[in-house]
Amino acid sequence: MSNEFAEATLYKIATGNYTPEELAAFLKALEALDEAAYVQVYNRLYEIVAQQSPGPPDERFKAPVLPMRTGIRWTKWLAAAAVLLVAGSAVYWFTTRNTSIKPVPFVTIKTTPPIDAAPGGNHATLTLSNGSVILLDQAATGDLAHQGGSRIVKSNNGQLVYYPATTGTTAIEYNTISTPRAGQYHIVLPDGTHVWLNAASSLRFPTSFTGKTREVEVSGEGYFEVVKNKNMPFKVITPPLPGGPGGAVQVLGTHFNINAYEDEEVAKVTLLEGSVKVGRGQQAAGREGSVILKPNEQATVTQPSLTTQSIPVQTVDVQKAIAWKDGFFEFNNLPLPAIMRQISRWYDVDVGMEASYPDKRFGGRISRKLNLASIISMLETYGVHFKMENKKLIVI
């Protein structure tokens, strides 16, 4: 597919000004693309749609279904369709492993949906060592406080940055940044390490790093880009799984993601760059106390691996693990309850499960900029039904 053909056709599809012949030619060209090129076209389509200003509902066109293939090079759960939603100014694709591949019907979102909530954004609180709390999304840019030898600044782009003092010594103090449900935030620690926190997460850290290690505590999910310092290794302490001890990640390299929500049955550490050692909070006879990950590997810690089994390690697509940081949900063959936990965190709604749909598993990438109504509409396409009672979203 030539760049000129793709760009011109994408604009026609995004504005609804295409002919049946042009659509057929475009879909045929998609079939010849490899996975990387297909994703590139998908992302460009999203960008074009996001730039459009949708008109009144009765003037919005019904966009075509863009099928995704399930060839040998694609995993089984990839694919039934990519649906273009101009009414929501977004593109998403979604699949179900146990559904035969067939066209997905057009999705029309009502202008006044009965179930809706706004997506999350940059919301967090900073708790200082003296107990003072700063609402970061409401705080003005500039200096916020001085703590333990560091100057705390909210930058113009909304980051929280710790600048260590260049002279003098001060007793170490601990601060905690916490994101609520429907919140996320980006912080730069005193050593220059960058941390992105997902919704319903927290990070406890010293206001300056001294001694032999740099140690922080994380709960929830965080993506780390750690500044290298061989003389002072970086260590992340995670909360315990239900009924088990906490874990520890010692960083021998740089970029990694930790998913350690206390309401999840597993904790995952995914390495993008460098090397990390994933260990347990306790030892047991007949099993190793830690594993060392290489890039593109993921360690999954479950309750059995804390007691009787070794820590499993597998090669994964690391970009899927950090899709949340780039503004997407990435559902990788997930059961509905796991998806609903993510929805609960990002849209700040309680979730109830009157029905579980045990035979359904879903996979796909969806923009986190969509309102909840768009996600609900998409799931209902696959036979999942909901009702809203007060602020509780119930699967029925």
- Cβ atoms of 97 and 76 within 8 Å: the answer is yes
The per-residue pLDDT for range 177-192, each reduced to its tens digit, is 999 999 999 999 999 9
Say if pTM beats, i.e. exceeds, 0.75: no
271 pLDDT tier (thresholds 50, 70, 90):
very high
285 pLDDT tier (thresholds 50, 70, 90):
very low
- Cβ atoms of 230 and 197 within 8 Å: the answer is no
The 10 Å CB-count burial string (b at 16+, else e) for 99-115 is: eeeeebeebebeeeeeb
Residue 260 scores a pLDDT above 60: yes
Mapped onto helix, strand or coil, the DSSP state of residue 351 is strand
The per-residue pLDDT for range 116-166, each reduced to its tens digit, is 999 999 999 999 999 999 999 999 999 999 988 899 999 999 999 999 876
Q: Could you give the angle at the alpha carbon of 199 between the alpha carbons of 396 and 51, nearest 5°?
A: 85
Per-residue confidence (pLDDT) for residue 152, from 0 to 100: 96
Altogether, the residues listed in the chain come to a count of 396
Per-residue confidence (pLDDT) for residue 372, from 0 to 100: 94
